Homo-oligomer: A and B are copies of this chain.
Amino acid sequence: MTSSLQAALDPGSIAVIGASENPDKIGGRPLLYLSRFGFRGEVWPVNPRRDEVQGRRTVPRLSALSRAPDLAIIAVPGEAAVAALDECGAIGVKVAIMMASGFGETADPAAQAAERAMVARARSRGLRMIGPNAQGLANFGTGAVASFSSMFLEAPPQDGPVGIVSQSGAMSVVPYGLLRARGIGVRHTHATGNDADVTVCELAAAVAADPALRLLLLYLESIPDPHHLAEAAAIARDRGLPIVALKSGRTAAGQAAAQSHTGALANEDRLVDAFLERHGIWRARDTTDLVAAAELYLKGWRPGGRRLVAISNSGATCVMAADAATSCGLDIAPLREDTQGRLRAILPSFAATRNPVDITAALMTNSALFGQILPVIAADPSADAFLVGVPVAGRAYAVDDFGRDTAAFAQATGKPVVIVAPQEIVASPFRSRGLPVFPGEGEAVRALHQLIAHRERMAAAAGRPPHPAPPPPARTPPRLLDEAESLGRLARAGVPVVRHRLCRTAEEAVAASVEIGGPVAVKGCSAEVAHKSELGLVHLGVSGDAAVRAAFEACRTGLAAAGHASSGVIVAAMARGRRELVLGAHRDPVFGPVVMVGDGGTTVEAMPDVAVLLPPFSEAEVERALGGLRIAPLIAGVRGEPPLAVAPYLAAAVAVGRLMVEEPAIASLDLNPILVGTEPGACMALDAVVFVEGTP
C-alpha cells in the first residue's frame, strides 16, 4: 500500500472543496457524514462565499490553509474542479477525490484529453486522484466517509468485516445495502469512478491489507491494470481473505454500455476468467451473486471436500438438493452403513437414510426426530458439508429446537452448514443462531459450492509464479517467420516438430525425401505466406523422385508466380496421429502472454473447443484445462480405445508458455495441427506460424 492510498483510507485531515450547507448536495453530504459517522481528524470546508457550513468554519480557498490536508474532496464541477485539483497539487495534498463528471466517460475528445492532462499534472506533483466521476470513499472503521452516496442515510452503517471497492457508485452501495439488510457490517464502501489515476484494483490492494477484513467484494467494468489486481489477490491470499469480483461488460452489448459509462476499455472476457481463476478470485455473475455467499465466508469455514449431506423433512427438498449438488459438482455420497443403521433405528420405516436423509412428514408429529438424528450424522466422517432443509413448518413444530439443534450440530462438526427455509418463522431461529439461511435449495447449494470451489481456487493459486506484464505497444506490425524458421524456433524451445528439411534445389528435395523415407509432404516456404494451401503450395503424400521433383518445381513456380520471396521448399515426413490438437499463443494488450490449448484442425475457428492459460503454468494445469473441454473423453480414451498420449502435448504447451515469457519478441504463434497419438512419439507439430516483433 502506498502512503497516498493509506491517506485516502485513513486521512488525518480532509478538505471539502465546494462545501455546501445543504446535506443533499454533493458538496454537503460528505460534511454531514464526517460529523455523523465519527470522523476524528480535522475537517476543513472550503467555500469562498460563506463563513460557516454545517456548523464548521470555512476557509475561502485551499491555499488559505496553514497546512495541506491529507485528503481533498473536490465537489465543484467542470473547470472549477480542474482548477481545484491543480491547487491540491500545488499545496501538497496527498489524495484528491474528484466527484465531477464530464471527462473521460464522455465521447468528447476534448473532455478525455482534459482528464489525461489533469492526471499528468497531479502525478507530476505527487498528488493521487480518485475519479473523476467518483462517488467517493467511505471507511466506517475510521469515519472517513468522503462520499456523496445517499445510501448511508437509508441503510445506517455498521463497521464490520466486509470491504467493497467499485468503479460504479451504485455498485458500491447496492451490495452495501443488501449486506446491511442482512445485518452484516461493512467497513469499506469505495467508488472510484473513471479510474483515471487510482484504479479499483490499486485501491483494492490497499483495502486488502486491512487486517479486519474477512471478505472483499469488487465491482469492475474494466481491468486496465491486472498487476494491481494480482497484487491485491496476493495480499488477500496471504491472509486467507477471499475476493469476489463482479466484472461486468461480459458481452459486446455490456462492453458498449461500459464504454459510455466510465470510458472503460473492453477486456476479452475469457481472459478475465482465466486471470481471476489464476489469482484465486471468484467471479460473480450479477449483483445478487456478488453477495450470495457472504454469510458463509464470514463463518470462517474451511471446507475439506465436496461431499454434501442433505437432511430435510421434505422429500422434494432432498430431490432438489441432490439435483442442485450434482449440477454444480458437489457429491451426494452415501452415509456410512453404520450411520444409516442408527438413523433407521430413529426414523420411520418409510424415511430415507442413505443421503439425502428424508425425515418425512413424521417430523410434524415428532419434532424431536430432528435433534435425534443430527448427532448421529455429525459422527459420520463421510461428509464435508451439510444442507438442512425445513421448507415447511409451523406452530405444530418445535422450530426453535431445530435452530438450537442445528447450531449445536454446526459447532460439533465445524463443517459448513446451509439452511433452506423459505418461511420467515422457520428461518428466524436458525438465522438468530448465526446459521446462513436461503429461500431455496438452488441458492443454498450454489453458495456452498462457491465457498468450497473458491477455497480450492485460492489454494491452487497460492505459490503460482507471477504472470509477466504485457509488453509496451509494438512500434511496427509483427512480421511473419517462414515455416522453417518457425518450426526451428519452436523445436529449440522444446516443442516436438515434424521431421523436415528446407531444400534450395530439386536435388536437395529428392535427397531429403529419401532420407526421410516413405511418402513426404512438399511445401513452399516463404516469410510472406501464412496460408499456403490457398496458393497451391502444399503437396501431400508425394512418393518417388520424379513426383518430389515435380512438387518442388510447383512450389517454386507457385511462389514466383504470386510474387512472394521464397525461402526454399520444405520436405517433411507424412505423420499421422489420432487427433489434431492446436497450440497457440499471443500477447494480450492488457493481460500479456496468453496460451491457447485444445482441439485443432480446420474447425478451430467455427467450433472452438479451446481453453486459455496465462503462463507460466504447469503440465498439470494444462491437463486440467483439457479436462474441461469437450474433447476430454477422447483424451481419456473411448469405447475400449487406448487413451491419447498427451504428455508430450502438455510439455509442449508448457514450453510454449515459457517461450512467451522468456522471449518477448515473439508476438504470436500458431501450431495447428499438432498431432497427438496413442504413443508419445506420435506427438508433433505439422505446421507452425510464428510472428515476431522488430525488424529482421
Contacts and interface: CB of A to CB of B under 8 A. Distances in A.
Nearest to A150: B394
A286 interface: yes
B392 A173 contact: yes
A261 B108 CA distance: 64
A354 interface: yes
Interface residues of A, number: 97
A574 interface: no
Contacts of A441: 286-287
A607 B607 CA distance: 13
A178 B423 CA distance: 8
A319 B422 contact: no
A653 to B, nearest CB: 21
A253 B320 CA distance: 9
Given A251-B322, A257-B318, A392 B151 contact: yes
A358 B260 contact: yes
Given A174-B391, A393-B150, A630-B607, A288 B257 contact: no
Interface stretch (A7-15, A210-218, A633-641): A633-641
A323 B287 contact: no
Given A171-B314, A288-B439, A288-B443, A251 B327 contact: yes
A587 B150 CA distance: 62
A272 to B, nearest CB: 12
Contacts of A169: 314, 361, 392
Given A105-B350, A260-B354, A439 B150 contact: no
A394 B260 CA distance: 25
A301 interface: no
B154 A219 contact: no
A170 B633 CA distance: 40
- Which residue, A26, A350, A440, has most C-beta atoms of chain B within 10 A? A350
A349 interface: yes
A631 B605 contact: no
A354 to B, nearest CB: 7
B287 A364 contact: no
Contacts of A322: 251, 253-254, 256-257
Given A106-B350, A631-B607, A170 B261 contact: no
A388 B438 CA distance: 27
9 contacts: A106-B350, A167-B316, A170-B391, A251-B326, A257-B352, A262-B315, A286-B443, A606-B638, A607-B630
Interface of A: 24-26, 101-102, 105-106, 108, 135, 149-151, 153-155, 166-171, 173-174, 177-178, 219, 221, 248-254, 256-258, 260-262, 285-289, 313-327, 332, 348-350, 352, 354, 356, 358, 360-361, 364-365, 391-397, 422-423, 425, 439-443, 603, 605-607, 630-631, 633-634, 638-639
